[in-house]
Structure 1
Amino acid sequence: MPVPIPTDRLRGLVDRAGTPMAKFTLALVAVHGLGRRETCHLLLADLDLARGRLTVRRDLRHTVYLDELTHALARDWLRDRHQRWPRTANPYLLVSQQTVADDRLPPVSTMVMNDIFRPLGLSPSKLRQDRILDEARHAADPVHLMRVFGIAAETAMKYIYTAHPERRSTSPR
């Protein structure tokens, strides 16, 4: 069962992230609940700053509407990315020193993602779980969780039952 992360561990998390890419990545996971894999595979073309939207490619496309913080962090990351690597043709939104030089390379590696989250003492999966659990507390709708987070029905029900144990049905004896 998912366990919420204590608020004191989450407070100031973005400020403790070291780089513009780390801050933006952290917001995608902690605020919007994106998974590690889908975060790594985002393309530059998926981000529409003018409209404040990010398209996440799943079985069904999902649009993330960027809050003010994530929008500012995305803008900062794009500025940093362009200043560091103005000529890169790499189509991925998140790039590293290793992947920026060749657009045929895969997106940022697991090692790069770990380097972002390790200093914060939290894993991307734990942050995502915390975000989904928080949404389950507020929405209590498994279909909503499935749409927003791209999770299966069984997983959505696990979050609903964790957030609302009183909703677990009991079979008659």
Structure 2
Amino acid sequence: MTAWSGQGLDLRQITSAHVTAALSDRQGHQARGVHHVLLSVFRALKQERIIFTNPLAGLSLTTPVRLPEPLPSDLLRGLLDSIDSAMGRLAVGLVAVHAIKVTDVARLPLTAPDLARGTLHLRLRNQPHAVYLDTLTRQLLDEWLRERQQRWPVSPNPHLLITTHSAHHPALPPVSYCALRRAFDLTGITPRQMWSDRVLDEARLTADPVHLEHLFGIHPGTAVRYVQAAHPDKALPRIR
């Protein structure tokens, strides 16, 4: 508003073009902060009938979409060797290979694996989703199921992943995020980074958002974003 005073304008002369120009000089949190302040000021001025048209009416602040970036390939080597538990290795394997989010891994039911068909069945975005297990994750699953049976053979907990705390807990809870996060901490990569890297790697190979949507059970908009990140030359024009 100081800049507008310097231009000899009072608040009744401010138009949406002036507001757009002011916001274009700022980015990120600063732009959002200015937008919020101006919105409050002009709403108040209109209520007091000092102005009759709000220059921010219908004007939205577009927040840039942060596209995913791949993790260096050397960080993905030897991940499983750094993890000291079968449960942790399975959780990391499911995220790193099949891009199942760690929160969904925690909620997997004991009935999710179909060992005869080599598949894992779960629900993503309230839809049934099947994962076809590769040799590595099949081995990790077998290892964990053997340990689970040996340590808690009569556990009533219906979840695939359990701990000493949850195996016989009366509430039958899923394994906690913190219990799974420890395995990722040992790799030095967050669950989100690992998930994002796997989806981005697949996007590089296919450049097909529909394939990503079906393979990982992700939202179509998310699939498009990852294809755009992997293939900037195929990105759609920004919608204004």
The normalised TM-score by structure 1 is: 0.94
CA RMSD of aligned residues (A): 1.3
Counterpart residue number, 2:132:
65
Counterpart residue number, 1:4:
70
Counterpart residue number, 1:34:
100
The 5 A counterparts of 1:19-168 are: 19-58=85-124, 59-102=126-169, 104-168=171-235
Deviation string 1:88-122 (CA, Å, 9 cap, x unpaired) is: 01110011111111263320111101111111111
The normalised TM-score by structure 2 is: 0.68
Residue type of the alignment partner of 1:25 = A
Mapped to 2, the partners of 1:39 and 1:118 lie a distance apart of 16
Aligned length: 171
Mapped to 1, the partners of 2:155 and 2:166 lie a distance apart of 10
Residue type of the alignment partner of 2:172 = L
2:178 counterpart SS class: helix
Deviation string 1:13-45 (CA, Å, 9 cap, x unpaired) is: 112111111111111000000011211110110
Gaps of 5+ in 1: none
Mapped to 1, the partners of 2:95 and 2:227 lie a distance apart of 20
Gaps of 5+ in 2: 1-66
> Which protein shows a greater Rg?
2
Mapped to 2, the partners of 1:169 and 1:80 lie a distance apart of 48
Residue type of the alignment partner of 2:132 = Y
Amino-acid identity (%)? 43
How far the C-alpha of 1:157 sits from its partner, in A, is: 1.1
Asked if structure 2 preserves the Cα contact closer than 8 Å seen for 1:91 and 1:103, the reply is: no
Deviation string 1:64-86 (CA, Å, 9 cap, x unpaired) is: 11111111110000001111111
Distance 1:103 1:146, change over 3 A: farther
2:111 counterpart SS class: helix
Residue type of the alignment partner of 1:79 = R
The higher relative CO (CA closer than 8 Å, separation ≥ 6) is in: 1
Asked if structure 1 preserves the Cα contact closer than 8 Å seen for 2:98 and 2:131, the reply is: yes
Mapped to 2, the partners of 1:69 and 1:53 lie a distance apart of 13
Asked if structure 2 preserves the Cα contact closer than 8 Å seen for 1:33 and 1:132, the reply is: yes
Residue type of the alignment partner of 1:149 = F
Residue type of the alignment partner of 1:99 = S
Range that drifts further, 46-55 or 101-110 = 101-110
